[in-house]
Amino acid sequence: CDWSSDVCSSDLIGNMFRIADLDGMAIGLKVTWFSALYTSVKFDDTTKLGVAQASVLKIGPYFTYEFTDGMAFDVYYQLTPTFAVEVWEGNSYGLGTTHSGGVGYRFNVLSVGLEYNFGSIKDMDFIGETIPAGDEDWYKYRMTHLRLFVGIKI
């Protein structure tokens, strides 16, 4: 079926813990303590539903290249425990692990970047049930999306 998604809104809180300085470069651990987003999806121009997604403790490595004292470029990957709710005629819930990879540019306290989230989670309504061979994709939520972000270091 044809579907389209509206622009979504998301919020997150996290830290970057530097492990090693490498003469203008650094490696470390990027931790997102909590992130949440909401979007609406339209199927076949008739059915509209909402999707809320939340993640707790996204974690993974990052690499930083510092141009100057207040300016840097970051590349990172995070493993993302994910919970989602599909709000429609009856709510459905999904749970699983997805992945996030991104790039960012930091200038003093501001940052901008692009993050690609990919993977799928299981529909919790069907846990423990036998799923017919070949129909596995019908019992998953694809959580793939691209996120443009603007952040502030506090």
| Three-class DSSP category at 88 | coil
Q: What is the pLDDT of residue 133?
A: 64
Q: In DSSP terms, which residues pair with 100 in a beta bridge?
A: 78, 117
Q: What is the pLDDT of residue 100?
A: 93
Residue 125 is which amino acid?
D
Q: What is the pLDDT of residue 1?
A: 36
Going by DSSP bridges, is the β-strand pair 140-142/3-5 parallel, antiparallel, or unpaired?
unpaired
How far apart (Å, rounded) are the C-alpha atoms in residues 99 and 26? 22
Q: Enter the tokens of residue 89.
A: 């005629």
Element containing residue 128 per DSSP (H, E):
none
How far apart (Å, rounded) are the C-alpha atoms in residues 81 and 71? 31
pTM > 0.85? no
Q: What is the pLDDT of residue 2?
A: 42
Name residues of the chain where pLDDT drops below 70: 1-8, 42-48, 88-90, 125-139
